[in-house]
Each structure stands twice: as C-alpha cells, then as structure tokens.
C-alpha cells in the first residue's frame, strides 16, 4: 500500500501501534501465564526480555517499514533484492493467519461476556459460579463459534475501511478510557483484604520456580505483547511520515505496554488472593477474577460492562493489525481490492479458528503433542513462530541494512544519540540472536544433552 495510506499524525501512529501491541497479550494472557509460571520471577524475565530484546526488535521492524514505505513482503525485497529474505514477510503472514484464528476466539469470549452481563446473568453470583459460567460459555460450540464470528466480523468491517478512517479514529477515545477504568479496578483490588499477597506474588521473584519452559514463555510473551516477529510493525510503520521520530515512538509503545501489563497484574493478583482463588487457574483467570472485583464495587456491573467494552476494543485494535498486514500485501494500495480481500481473508481466518473455538468443548479430547488445538496453535505462534521471526529480523537489519541508512532513519524528527544508536545496534546484532537461539535450544533440551 505504498504511501497511499498514512497515519495523519504522530499520535495516530503511536496509538495505532500501541493498539496493536496492547491487547489480549497484556491484559488476559500475561496474568494467566505469569500465574502458571511462578509470578514475580516470570514478570522479571518478561521485563528484561521486553527491554533488551523486544524494544530493539520493535525499532528494527520500524526501520524496515518506514525506510521502504512498503508492505511486509515488498519491504524485504526492496532492502535485499534477489534474495530469499522476503520469506521473513511470508512467515509474518502465516503467523498472523494462525494467530488471528485463535485470537478471535478469545475476543469472542469477551463478546459473550458482554451479552451475559447485559442480560443480567452475571449479577450477584459467587466467586466459584463465575468460573462455572465461564466454563459453560467457552465449552458451548454454538456460543463460541458465533461470538468468534462476530469478533472477526468487527475486525473485517474496520480493516476494510482502511487505515486512517477505520483504525486510527477509534483508537483516540478507547485507549485512554481503558487506562481510566483500569485505575478504578486497581483501587478496588488493592483495598481488598489480603491484597498484599497478590503484590508479593507478582513482584517478588522466586527464581526457584523458573524452568526453561517458563523462560521460553516469557520470551514469547514479550514478543507477543509487543506484536514483534510477525512484521506487523513493519506494515504499520510503513504508513508513518518521514518526519516522525521512531525511537521515541518505540519507547512510548513499550512503556505503555509495560504499564498495561502492570495494571492488569495489579487488578488481578491482589483479588486472586483475596478471594482465595488460584493464580495458576489458566485462561479462566481474568474472566473469573475481575467480575468478582467489580461485584465488590458500587455500580459494579456497569463498570464491568464498561471494562468489557474497552477490553474488547483493545483486542480488536490488535486484531486489526494482524488482518492489515495480510490485506496490505494482497491489495497493494488498491481501495476496492482492500475491501474485497478483507472480507475473503477474514472469512478464511474465521473458518481456521473453528477448531480452536471447539477445543474447549466438543473437541477438547483432540490433542496435538499433548496440547489442545487452541494451546497448540498458541504455542506454535507465541513460542516458536514469533521468536523465529524476531530472530530473522534481528539478523536481517544489521546485516542487510547499511548502518548509515539506519542512523539516518533513526534521526528523523529528532535526535537519537550516537551512544544509544550503538546500544540498539549491538542489542540487535549480538544480544537478540544469541539470546533467542539460547532459549530455543534450551527448550529443545540441547543444553541438558550437552552438559547433562
Ligand atoms: N500484541 C497483541 C496482544 O498482545 O494482544 C498480539 C499480537 C498482535 C501479536 C499482532 C503479534 C502481532 F503481529
């Protein structure tokens, strides 16, 4: 869509990219994965990966997209013509396909909860009953497929309209509103009894709980929450004007993302301990805990509804970016093609998501390498494809892009001190590939094999 579309302002770009980043990853997935993977230690490693790997990689994707102003495939071709590097772009497309197929299933759960709240089914029930309602919702094939369909429908309608009209405008209102409602939630959660146990669980690391799977999960989680590794951010940054400063934008996005992760953690964990629930409850965690917190507030049900709408919005702004990268490649800036292909691709992804939607119900017995279809798809994307894409991007940028071009790209719209540039370059060229390969080999058990 070479330059035919552009964000109208810096803040538009930041909000859209932050919108892509902030979604189910920070709000729903982080708390439950942290809950399973030992709390504080996981959070600590996640933070480390986000800052030393995620941030440099985000900036690397920005550099590819903005310098070429092209989509996820053409940008690699422009930088490294007559090579196979554009396969990194195709890898991003495949990743986005699979990712959106199960992401939309979770997005659908939010819609289902909105219906249940509006129809009064979540009023005045006990902590355990919230868990039961959740299990009933996600195991019912009719419900889970219809709400998955609705979520995809919303995604397609916006992406079909185009970047500025659809995606950018909506971001302006919803993101700040989400922050505000989170603050209210946290105030309530922190003033519950035993709240401090939740704080210690989240912030005081117990490294004895950390194993190689948890470290991989933290790596995957840091890429997942920043939308790094799928060339999504290559696509979004291709719509950014040359006058914008990329390092500053990347830093704001990372900081906002960490902020939301902390907000979600602070809203959920104190309440988990206060209500005597289990932090390792899995995907149910948010859906079981938050209604409880809200039910302890005046006008709780209204606040819960507002939260769900904003949460849905956060998930949608992420799903837009996944569909956008695919549609941008196929439609090449042609408005009528964009419309048509948004619908076609959206429908294919809906069909692809059905097995994931059924995997909490009638298909729960079907497993792939011991995981449910949903978990297997999530594992494939979060813990394999995104780290692999990130690894290739970390190799591509320093080896295929000239240092002088990168320096210039970083200087637009404000300075980027030479020292900081060198740190970024070093992190990308050496730290990121080594760290990602190290973690992947660790999970494959290579270190154990070698060093016993
Ligand atoms: N960052 C999104 C979230 O945390 O919900 C998920 C995501 C979007 C991952 C786009 C990757 C991507 F390309």
How many other CB atoms are found less than 10 A from the CB of residue 70? 25
Structural domain harbouring 40:
10-451
Question: CA 365, CA 152: separation in Å to the nearest integer?
Answer: 26
pLDDT band at 30 (very low <50, low <70, confident <90, very high): very high
pLDDT of residue 111: 97
Question: CA 167, CA 158: separation in Å to the nearest integer?
Answer: 6
What are 190-218's pLDDT values in tens digits? Answer: 998 888 999 999 999 888 878 888 898 99
Task: Name the domain count of the chain.
Answer: 1
Asked whether residue 70 carries a pLDDT value surpassing 70, the answer given is: yes
Ligand 1 in contact with 288 (CB < 6 A)? no
Return the structure tokens found at 145.
């497929």
Distance 20 CA to ligand 1 centre (A): 6
- Of 338 and 148, the structure prediction assigns the larger pLDDT to 148
pLDDT of residue 388: 96
Identify whether 40 is part of a domain.
yes
What are 237-286's pLDDT values in tens digits? Answer: 988 888 888 999 999 999 999 999 999 999 999 988 888 888 888 888 88
Distance 197 CA to ligand 1 centre (A): 30
Ligand 1 in contact with 235 (CB < 6 A)? no
Mutation to probe ligand 1, out of 89, 223, 225, 314 (largest number of atoms < 8 A from CB): 225
Rounded average pLDDT over 66-70: 93
pLDDT of residue 450: 78
Ligand 1 in contact with 372 (CB < 6 A)? no
Closest ligand 1 atom to Cα of 96: 13
3-state secondary structure of 72: coil
- Of 211 and 1, the structure prediction assigns the larger pLDDT to 211
Identify whether 5 is part of a domain.
no
Identify whether 4 is part of a domain.
no
pLDDT of residue 213: 85
pLDDT of residue 3: 47
Summary mean pLDDT of the chain = 89
Among positive and negative, which fits the CA dihedral 132, 138, 143, 148? positive
Distance 345 CA to ligand 1 centre (A): 18
Ligand 1 in contact with 323 (CB < 6 A)? no
Asked whether residue 150 carries a pLDDT value surpassing 80, the answer given is: yes
pLDDT of residue 164: 65
pLDDT of residue 1: 40
User: Residue with the nearest Cα to atom 13 of ligand 1?
Assistant: 227
Ligand 1 in contact with 225 (CB < 6 A)? yes
- Of 347 and 120, the structure prediction assigns the larger pLDDT to 347
Distance 53 CA to ligand 1 centre (A): 16
Return the structure tokens found at 262.
């902390």
Distance 23 CA to ligand 1 centre (A): 7
User: Which one, of 242, 244, 257, 188, lies nearest residue 49 by Cα?
Assistant: 257
Return the structure tokens found at 42.
């996981």
Distance 126 CA to ligand 1 centre (A): 33
Identify whether 375 is part of a domain.
yes
3-state secondary structure of 401: coil
Asked whether residue 168 carries a pLDDT value surpassing 60, the answer given is: yes
Identify whether 237 is part of a domain.
yes
Return the structure tokens found at 270.
């104190």
3-state secondary structure of 380: helix
pLDDT of residue 231: 94
Residue 370's alpha-carbon distances to 29, 308, 367, 440, in angstroms, are 20, 32, 5, 19
Identify whether 31 is part of a domain.
yes
pLDDT band at 2 (very low <50, low <70, confident <90, very high): very low
Asked whether residue 15 carries a pLDDT value surpassing 60, the answer given is: yes
Alpha-helical (H) ranges within 162-279 are: 169-190, 195-203, 212-226, 232-237, 246-274
Distance 254 CA to ligand 1 centre (A): 13
Closest ligand 1 atom to Cα of 26: 4
- Of 192 and 48, the structure prediction assigns the larger pLDDT to 48
* % of the chain with per-residue pLDDT over 70: 96
Identify whether 17 is part of a domain.
yes
Ligand 1 in contact with 230 (CB < 6 A)? yes
Asked whether residue 452 carries a pLDDT value surpassing 90, the answer given is: no
Whether the CB-CB separation of 36 and 28 falls below 8 Å is answered with no
Give me the CATH number covering residue 184: 1.10.4160.10
What are 289-323's pLDDT values in tens digits? Answer: 888 888 877 778 888 898 899 899 899 989 998 99
Identify whether 249 is part of a domain.
yes
Q: What is the pTM of this model?
A: 0.92
Whether the CB-CB separation of 377 and 102 falls below 8 Å is answered with yes
Question: CA 94, CA 448: separation in Å to the nearest integer?
Answer: 32
Asked whether residue 7 carries a pLDDT value surpassing 80, the answer given is: no
pLDDT of residue 102: 96
Distance 226 CA to ligand 1 centre (A): 6
């Amino acid at each position: 869509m070479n330059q035919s579309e552009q964000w109208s302002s810096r803040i538009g770009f930041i909000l859209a990219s932050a919108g892509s980043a902030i979604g189910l990853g920070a709000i729903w997935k982080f708390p439950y994965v942290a809950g399973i993977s030992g709390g504080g230690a996981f959070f600590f490693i996640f933070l480390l990966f986000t800052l030393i790997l995620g941030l440099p990689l985000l900036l690397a994707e920005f550099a590819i997209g903005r310098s070429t102003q092209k989509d996820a495939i053409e940008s690699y071709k422009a930088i490294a013509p007559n090579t196979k590097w554009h396969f990194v772009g195709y890898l991003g497309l495949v990743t986005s396909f699979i990712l959106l197929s199960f992401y939309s299933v979770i997005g659908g759960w939010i819609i289902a909860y909105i219906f249940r709240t509006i129809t009064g089914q979540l009023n005045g029930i006990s902590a355990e009953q919230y868990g039961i309602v959740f299990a009933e919702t996600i195991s019912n094939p009719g419900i889970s497929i219809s709400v998955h369909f609705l979520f995809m429908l919303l995604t397609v309608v916006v992406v079909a309209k185009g970047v500025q009209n659809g995606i950018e405008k909506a971001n302006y209102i919803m993101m700040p509103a989400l922050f505000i409602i989170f603050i209210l939630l946290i105030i309530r959660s922190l003033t519950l009894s035993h709240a401090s146990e939740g704080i210690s669980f989240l912030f005081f690391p117990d490294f004895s709980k950390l194993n190689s799977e948890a470290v991989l999960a933290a790596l995957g989680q840091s890429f997942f929450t920043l939308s790094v590794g799928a060339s999504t951010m290559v696509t979004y940054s291709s719509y950014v004007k040359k006058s914008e400063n990329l390092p500053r934008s990347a830093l704001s996005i990372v900081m906002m993302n960490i902020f939301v992760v902390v907000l979600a953690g602070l809203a959920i964990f104190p309440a988990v301990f206060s209500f005597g629930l289990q932090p390792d409850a899995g995907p149910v965690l948010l859906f079981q805990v938050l209604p409880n917190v809200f039910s302890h507030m005046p006008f709780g049900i209204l606040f819960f509804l507002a939260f769900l709408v904003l949460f849905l919005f956060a998930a949608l702004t992420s799903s837009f970016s996944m569909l956008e990268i695919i549609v941008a490649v196929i439609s090449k800036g042609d408005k009528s093609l964009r419309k048509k292909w948004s619908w076609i691709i959206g429908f294919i992804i809906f069909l692809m998501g059905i097995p994931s939607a059924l995997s909490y119900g009638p298909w729960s017995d079907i497993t792939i390498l011991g995981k449910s279809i949903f978990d297997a798809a999530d594992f494939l994307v979060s813990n394999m494809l995104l780290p692999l894409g990130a690894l290739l991007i970390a190799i591509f940028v320093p080896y295929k892009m000239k240092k002088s071009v990168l320096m210039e790209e970083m200087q637009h719209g404000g300075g980027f001190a030479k020292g900081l540039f060198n740190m970024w370059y070093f992190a990308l060229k050496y730290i990121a590939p080594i760290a990602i390969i190290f973690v992947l080999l660790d999970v494959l058990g290579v270190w154990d094999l070698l060093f016993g």
